[in-house]
Structure 1
């Protein structure tokens, strides 16, 4: 048994050993630490990024209105029936443009047709068009053929320019969809749409525009919109900033049909394609009032298809335009020849297209969607949005959701824009709100993304 003296000696020894151990640890070198980089700020504090709203303006009044731009009108007046006829005669002269036809001949088959298209876009492009082939494979019913879309790009001059696509398929077919040897004239279907592309490119290439315009001539539409699908999917993967896609198919007309054109857009009341349809109808009526646009709430004609569906399938705004009444006996028939086209009718369709595309491409950029709030005053909404100081004013669309077309716009000058209150609305009605910018020539930009306000807004907005 240990006495007190022995216990004290043991404790002293343990303390000495502990001190020695700690001293030894202290003599070990501290491992070298990697230098830490100085943090770099990646964003300003939230409060610093806020822009104070301008003073609230209630029910503004403005004399800045959408109007006919003399520059665009001059282009419209220069649409040439002779050019259109020449384009269609040349396309018909290739004998066939079937996706499975000859690709080596210089004057027969789809190979000759697409090479001519490439060269013709280059010729009419005034040195501004960037023209190229976009190749893709076509596998259909056990057959294979290499295909080429023809793509002509008119670059926009604005920073972060949006893209407007004008589209038509240049291929055609006889009654048998894979018959690449039999004659197939395809003047109206779709030499007319292809001629529209070329004539619009000729005219728009005489100027520079804010937004980019792409003239897209697709192949293999007759087998199932393969060319449009290839372009749309690649554009989606490339994050192309597409604002609108307009497809023209069989737009040549005949002397005995109504002087109007059908425009197909699905989910017309509230969808990206419906918004494009509204814009087209409004601007078309402003510039070509004697040629109506008959807007139809559908993807296409019943049981039929067109290239626009490939863009709609990936969520982009796209519409199809086609003549007011079709003749079923002409479809894929040898009777579909250049001399059965009504060139006065086709000229009007091209004028519509020039008006719409020149406004989207030439006006200020598409505004951001406004922030819309109900106020304490019943039937009053407050709209706020970033103002583009290069614009002269804004047009605000405030339409009941069951009214597919734009009504009268609420107009505001730029110096009063950005914080506006509109009164007198029915608090029991759901409204669709969007706005567009106006420039000094009266050109109307593409409208901001639509949004719903009203009692069911939380349910109806996506």
Structure 2
């Protein structure tokens, strides 16, 4: 008797059982946190940031009412208020650093600062770190004009307001590992604040799981085309990692994982949890590091080998971006709060929250994830070492066709090995660990073994 038909029948029955067992779970605490994000609070924060007149990187640092220094000190004071509800776990600092004149956008040697709030993880054995950022500096048409009014409401008061709202809400909860909320500076002059922080993280060997950069997330009306849409936003992620080694490049080419860099896997994760928890919001995955020939504060993190992405509105309005305040031909130019959509900003802030919370409560990822290639078969066998984490309830195998941008199916199981009726010739896979509330680790792409 040929044993193969019996094996295939068993595999199909096994697959059916684990598919039926698959359940999508909503964590009620995450849903509650989403309801705590208020559009009115975000609007008030943006207007307060605008009230400082200009937040140009090289503007006044001594005044208590105008310039980037006053704005940074206000953000730090707000962090200190949030810390009161954190049982001592949220701490804040101004991280000062020096930059040299570069003959381009830094006119003279200057001291800059990032404003940081660190929510310490509750598990001393867990060194994982999440970072969420927005840039506090602003600009007008002339990037070197440090004196003109530069409201920077959307670019990037929106990202700073979102980051601050997240820190206020999340600092009331306990997470096993650390979350850093940061208002970086010097973005418009050359990503200086992000470069400094990324280099510190690399030197000190921070175990950064994900870096979320929020830059222009509060405008829903495009210039020129007049498209209005507050139901979609973009997440940008790199294709080939900047620091890919020769061996990693060889494996990428061998397995055709050109669309599955760590940042791409993070971007798909963001799409999955956002569309699970946030109503009327769809994530548009843009498969490039940033807009065409442009960059943002996630870029230095990518360049230093970290997994980083950018959140950005779906349609940019260039009448209100990098513009002097003026009216020409009945068009009002300038980055002012009146042109923002604060309900849209609330939803994108919620996307950040559900991503951070799911990751911060998730078990560690499985390790040594492999796909067996010793036999020619229309089934695929995946195996992995269990995650070293007592919170693990089981594992999900994620499945998609090679031509599809997003995961199409997932299979839940409690074992660390599975044979599924999907051919590795036609499908791509990844494996993630999950707990009982559905918090999932970032997926791990398998490598082939014989």
Tell me, yes or no, whether TM beats 0.5: yes
State how far apart, in whole Å, the 2-side matches of 1:423 and 1:377 are.
14
Deviations 1:41-91 (A, max 9, x none): xxxxxxxxxxxxxxx995361635342110000000110112111110110
Alpha-carbon distance change, 168 to 244 in structure 1, aligned in 2, over 3 angstroms: same
Deviations 1:156-202 (A, max 9, x none): 22322311111111101122212211110100000000000000111
Alpha-carbon distance change, 77 to 368 in structure 1, aligned in 2, over 3 angstroms: same
Tell me what 2:341 maps to: 342
Tell me what 1:326 maps to: 316
State how far apart, in whole Å, the 2-side matches of 1:372 and 1:303 are.
36
Tell me what 1:4 maps to: none
State how far apart, in whole Å, the 1-side matches of 2:353 and 2:293 are.
30
- Counterpart of 1:370 in 2: which secondary structure? strand
**Structure 1 residues without counterparts, runs of 5 or longer:** 1-55
Which of 134, 144, 147 pairs up with 2:109? Answer: 144
Larger Rg: 1
Q: CA deviation at 1:271?
A: 0.8
- Counterpart of 1:188 in 2: which secondary structure? coil
State how far apart, in whole Å, the 2-side matches of 1:70 and 1:82 are.
23
Tell me what 1:39 maps to: none
Tell me what 2:431 maps to: 435
Tell me what 1:406 maps to: 407
Deviations 1:68-120 (A, max 9, x none): 11000000011011211111011000010111100100111011011111111
Q: CA deviation at 1:400?
A: 4.0
Tell me what 1:97 maps to: 55
Tell me what 2:228 maps to: 257
State TM-score, norm by structure 1: 0.81
Q: Residues 371 and 385 of structure 1 are in contact (CA less than 8 Å); yes or no, is this contact kept in structure 2?
A: no
State how far apart, in whole Å, the 2-side matches of 1:398 and 1:427 are.
10
Tell me what 2:262 maps to: 272
**Does the alignment pair 1:247 with 2:204?**
no
State TM-score, norm by structure 2: 0.83
State how far apart, in whole Å, the 2-side matches of 1:427 and 1:280 are.
25
Counterparts in 2 of 1:179-218, with a 5 A limit?
A: 179-218=145-184
Q: CA deviation at 1:452?
A: 4.5
Tell me what 1:283 maps to: 273
Counterparts in 2 of 1:2-401, with a 5 A limit?
A: 59=15, 61=18, 63=21, 65-125=23-83, 126-127=85-86, 128-138=89-99, 139-141=101-103, 142-158=107-123, 159-254=125-220, 257-258=228-229, 259-267=231-239, 269-333=259-323, 334=325, 335-374=334-373, 376=375, 378=377, 379-387=379-387, 388-401=389-402
State how far apart, in whole Å, the 1-side matches of 2:197 and 2:166 are.
20
State how far apart, in whole Å, the 1-side matches of 2:47 and 2:335 are.
12
Q: More deviation in 256-265 or 342-351?
A: 256-265
Aligned residues: 394
- Counterpart of 1:223 in 2: which secondary structure? helix
**Structure 2 residues without counterparts, runs of 5 or longer:** 1-10, 222-226, 240-257, 326-333
Q: CA deviation at 1:123?
A: 1.0
Deviations 1:352-385 (A, max 9, x none): 1111110001122233242332354713314132
Q: CA deviation at 1:289?
A: 4.3
State how far apart, in whole Å, the 2-side matches of 1:393 and 1:170 are.
41
Alpha-carbon distance change, 440 to 425 in structure 1, aligned in 2, over 3 angstroms: closer
State how far apart, in whole Å, the 2-side matches of 1:435 and 1:377 are.
22
Q: CA deviation at 1:228?
A: 0.4
Q: Residues 366 and 384 of structure 2 are in contact (CA less than 8 Å); yes or no, is this contact kept in structure 1?
A: no
Q: CA deviation at 1:225?
A: 0.4
State how far apart, in whole Å, the 1-side matches of 2:98 and 2:384 are.
49
Q: Residues 367 and 384 of structure 2 are in contact (CA less than 8 Å); yes or no, is this contact kept in structure 1?
A: no
Q: More deviation in 81-90 or 383-392?
A: 383-392
State how far apart, in whole Å, the 2-side matches of 1:229 and 1:401 are.
35
Q: Residues 210 and 306 of structure 2 are in contact (CA less than 8 Å); yes or no, is this contact kept in structure 1?
A: yes
Q: CA deviation at 1:403?
A: 3.0
Deviations 1:119-139 (A, max 9, x none): 111112323311111111233
Alpha-carbon distance change, 402 to 315 in structure 1, aligned in 2, over 3 angstroms: farther
Tell me what 1:48 maps to: none
Tell me what 2:246 maps to: none
